[in-house]
Chain A
Amino acid sequence: MAEFHEISPNASAGAKTLNWIDNRFPLSALFKAHMSEYYAPKNFNVWYVFGVLSLLVLVIQIVTGIFLVMHYKPDAALAFGSVEYIMRDVPWGWMIRYMHSTGASAFFVVVYLHMFRGLMYGSYRKPRELVWLFGCGIFLALMAEAFMGYLLPWGQMSYWGAQVIVNLFSAIPFIGPDLALLIRGDFVVGDATLNRFFSFHVIAVPLVLLGLVVAHIIALHEVGSNNPDGVEIKADKDANGIPRDGIPFHPYYSVHDIFAVSVFLFVFTAIVFFAPEMGGYFLEYNNFIPADPFQTPLHIAPVWYFTPFYSLLRAVTTELMYVLMACVVLAAALSLLKGRMPAVFKAVIGGGAVVVLAMMLSIDAKFWGVVAMGGGVVILFFLPWLDNSPVKSIRYRPDWHKYFYAVFVVDFLILGYLGTLPPSPLFSRVAQVGTLFYFAFFLLMPWWSRIGTFKPVPSRVTYTAH
């Protein structure tokens, strides 16, 4: 701990106050460590604004959420009415509610772009694995938060969406039905479910989310930011120990981010004022009908940000299971024939494949759909260990990697679009192909990420003054 620091009696009142605080709490030290003396690479591009924007949306969600809770009633008989009350009778309530509902979608927009930035520039690679893992944890918490929040207006989509997702858990062999019962707190989604989701949505998950955000930033500031070139700026420091390619976060990036925040808020407020429903994508039309436990709406689909994963769920049918089993057999055969490893490992792989095949044959496709949906999210956690590319950034990877990434993005968007549509034979086939590609992209990454001619990575970041 720092020595007690006496300040000159002639110092200004501000300096004296700051000195008084600094002797009791490391205010200046924290500001320096995380702002004015945190050196970030000078070559950030527009992709680097989405981290700050997600922090901004988090604040919007917390503030608007606090005000919504003042008027909302978590009761199956009153919830729908209380939301309409906020919309019609609470002064400016409509705006607070639309900020919150638009904020939910905006959160996923900026987080998806933020994650894609990480994917492009290899921001999850050593030594930033924990930054990535905390980030994936945030994504998971965000999904839980969005899902439980969506039940609260107690509209038709709220109700049936929750019914479907909670029933996903009942597909787990043996413990599933009891687990679903424990989540619902009743034999069907009802008042008990609404009340506990409210508790999770306003207290439990936000606390976890905030903790993870703090961990994400602490881990980031420990290792330092990556950049579009994937060059470690800490490898080249000047005489003062400051990276030559680094600039202090404050004022350079704080100003840069204030500009980004302003532009973001133009768009955000335009949506809040002119298109809060976003054509049924941000607020689904069926959710303006009160929940009816006897009538599933003719077409139900989750909100857009869940639809890519929802497509993975729908794609797994009995037919696709045979394709997946063939994949397991092929993978096991390849590793047994081609793999250079001790016989013990081969025996384990062979035995494991037999067990997996037996499970695939004996457990419903429904369960494997749930596994695919969960796996689609969980596989992101493993990215740091799946990517074997010798370079971090897409800039220095073979050109075909870029096209492959482009196909992955298109695949993700197609899965997302199909997830919003009613089921049909043709689209189911497309979603099945998309699902296989989604998993192949990640599961085969240890191999394909090494193939091709990589370009030389410069020792300093590429940057032209402007």
Chain B
Amino acid sequence: MSEALVDGASFDASKRTWLIASGCAGAVGGAAALVPFVSSFQPSEKAKAAGAAVEADISALKPGEKMVVEWRGKPVWIVRRTPEQLAALPKLDSQLADPASTRKPDEQAPAYARNATRSIKPEYLVTVGICTHLGCSPSDKFQKGAQPSLPDDWEGGFLCPCHGSTFDLAGRVFKNKPAPDNLEVPPHMYLSDTKLLIGSDKQA
């Protein structure tokens, strides 16, 4: 057989056809086998199911304080802002990367939170405490004034310890920081004056 091929004299054409055909069929099967393996990397059904809305009782939250609730495995912050803190927000507009949240508005906040305070009630900020840069959870820097890693005219806000992004008390990111976007405001609604539902904004 091999001598015949070296001479170029003759070879069994039908055998070669079947070799090629079975080789191709094997390659297709091999490629198809990738699908289940790659798919197994996706979140499991159990992980997908764990996304339900959570309730938060804000009756004990004092002005200037923050509480954290878990929603979809992420920290959601509820900050009760003081009138002084609220008054400082508009003054910061010129230092912010996107003061009016016009970049990717749909991803940043639901329609009812696209306002100057990025909230339903001005007093309460509800936001996902995950930096839009690389997913660290920024730390509270509510105290005003100069302090390490912060500008001297700091009005209070959040500092991401990972790469130094800073956010004001409406979760808006300052200019020239690694984080591209403002903190995400999750869908939420008030069930009563002291009860918040996070993760859903439609009456069940």
Binding site for B on A (CB under 8 A): 160, 163-164, 166-168, 170-171, 181-188, 190, 192, 196, 293-300, 313-314, 316-319, 364-366, 369, 422-424, 428
Choose, from B27-35, B71-79, B80-88, B108-116, the stretch at the interface. B71-79
Pairwise interchain contact B149-A422, C-beta atoms closer than 8 A: yes
Q: Which of chain B's residues have a CB closer than 8 A to the CB of A168?
A: 134
Pairwise interchain contact B136-A293, C-beta atoms closer than 8 A: no
Shortest beta-carbon distance, B125 to chain A, in Å?
Answer: 17
Pairwise interchain contact A182-B41, C-beta atoms closer than 8 A: yes
> With A186-B73, A190-B73 in contact, do A364 and B161 touch (Cβ < 8 Å)?
no
- B102 near A: Cβ within 8 Å? no
Nearest residue, chain A, Cβ from B180: A364
Nearest residue, chain A, Cβ from B69: A294
Q: Which of chain B's residues have a CB closer than 8 A to the CB of A186?
A: 43-44, 47, 73
- B156 near A: Cβ within 8 Å? no
- Which one of B41, B139, B175 lies within 8 Å of A185 (CB-CB)? B41
**4 A-B pairs with the lowest CB-CB distances in the bound complex, closest first:** A423-B164, A188-B73, A167-B135, A294-B75
Q: In the complex, A192 Cα to B44 Cα: how many Å? A: 9
> With A318-B176, A364-B180 in contact, do A300 and B133 touch (Cβ < 8 Å)?
no
Pairwise interchain contact B178-A369, C-beta atoms closer than 8 A: yes
Q: In the complex, A319 Cα to B180 Cα: how many Å? A: 13
Assuming A182-B41, A190-B73, what are 9 further A-B pairs, CB within 8 angstroms? A181-B42, A187-B73, A192-B47, A293-B70, A296-B162, A364-B180, A365-B178, A369-B178, A424-B148
Number of A-B pairs, beta carbon distance below 8 Å: 103
Shortest beta-carbon distance, B70 to chain A, in Å?
Answer: 7
Pairwise interchain contact B179-A299, C-beta atoms closer than 8 A: no
Pairwise interchain contact B176-A317, C-beta atoms closer than 8 A: yes
- Which one of B42, B161, B178, B180 lies within 8 Å of A296 (CB-CB)? B161
Q: In the complex, A417 Cα to B199 Cα: how many Å? A: 42
- B129 near A: Cβ within 8 Å? yes
Which DSSP category, helix, strand, loop or mixed, fits chain B's interface? loop
Binding site for A on B (CB under 8 A): 38, 41-44, 47, 51, 68, 70, 72-75, 129, 133-139, 148-149, 160-164, 175-180
- Which one of A163, A182, A422, A424 lies within 8 Å of B135 (CB-CB)? A163
Shortest beta-carbon distance, B177 to chain A, in Å?
Answer: 7
Pairwise interchain contact A164-B135, C-beta atoms closer than 8 A: yes
Q: Which of chain B's residues have a CB closer than 8 A to the CB of A369?
A: 178
Shortest beta-carbon distance, A204 to chain B, in Å?
Answer: 12
Pairwise interchain contact A185-B47, C-beta atoms closer than 8 A: yes
Q: Which of chain B's residues have a CB closer than 8 A to the CB of A314?
A: 163-164, 178
Q: Which of chain A's residues have a CB closer than 8 A to the CB of B160?
A: 296
Pairwise interchain contact A185-B134, C-beta atoms closer than 8 A: no
Nearest residue, chain A, Cβ from B181: A364
Pairwise interchain contact B72-A296, C-beta atoms closer than 8 A: no
> With A293-B75, A296-B136, A423-B149 in contact, do A185 and B44 touch (Cβ < 8 Å)?
yes
Pairwise interchain contact B73-A163, C-beta atoms closer than 8 A: no
> With A181-B43, A299-B161, A424-B149 in contact, do A187 and B178 touch (Cβ < 8 Å)?
no
Q: In the complex, A294 Cα to B140 Cα: how many Å? A: 12
Pairwise interchain contact A188-B72, C-beta atoms closer than 8 A: yes
Pairwise interchain contact A296-B73, C-beta atoms closer than 8 A: no
Nearest residue, chain B, Cβ from A165: B134
Nearest residue, chain B, Cβ from A297: B161
Q: In the complex, A254 Cα to B94 Cα: how many Å? A: 67
Q: Which of chain B's residues have a CB closer than 8 A to the CB of A293?
A: 70, 73-75
Q: Which of chain A's residues have a CB closer than 8 A to the CB of B41?
A: 182-183, 185, 196
- Which one of B74, B129, B164, B178 lies within 8 Å of A188 (CB-CB)? B74
Shortest beta-carbon distance, B142 to chain A, in Å?
Answer: 15
Pairwise interchain contact A164-B137, C-beta atoms closer than 8 A: no
Q: Which of chain A's residues have a CB closer than 8 A to the CB of B73?
A: 186-188, 190, 293
Shortest beta-carbon distance, A172 to chain B, in Å?
Answer: 13
Q: Which of chain A's residues have a CB closer than 8 A to the CB of B38?
A: 182
Q: Which of chain A's residues have a CB closer than 8 A to the CB of B42?
A: 181-182, 185
Shortest beta-carbon distance, A456 to chain B, in Å?
Answer: 50
A–B pairs, 12, beta carbons within 8 Å: A185-B47, A188-B73, A196-B41, A293-B75, A294-B70, A296-B139, A366-B133, A366-B179, A422-B149, A422-B161, A422-B164, A424-B148
Pairwise interchain contact B178-A185, C-beta atoms closer than 8 A: no
Pairwise interchain contact A163-B176, C-beta atoms closer than 8 A: no
Q: In the complex, A187 Cα to B44 Cα: how many Å? A: 10
Nearest residue, chain A, Cβ from B97: A318
Nearest residue, chain A, Cβ from B42: A182
Q: In the complex, A358 Cα to B175 Cα: how many Å? A: 21
Shortest beta-carbon distance, B183 to chain A, in Å?
Answer: 14
Pairwise interchain contact B180-A187, C-beta atoms closer than 8 A: no
Q: In the complex, A182 Cα to B74 Cα: how many Å? A: 18
Q: In the complex, A190 Cα to B75 Cα: how many Å? A: 14
Q: Which of chain B's residues have a CB closer than 8 A to the CB of A424?
A: 148-149, 164
Shortest beta-carbon distance, A462 to chain B, in Å?
Answer: 49
Pairwise interchain contact B43-A187, C-beta atoms closer than 8 A: yes
Shortest beta-carbon distance, A331 to chain B, in Å?
Answer: 25
Q: In the complex, A423 Cα to B160 Cα: how many Å? A: 10
Nearest residue, chain B, Cβ from A315: B178
Q: Which of chain B's residues have a CB closer than 8 A to the CB of A166?
A: 135
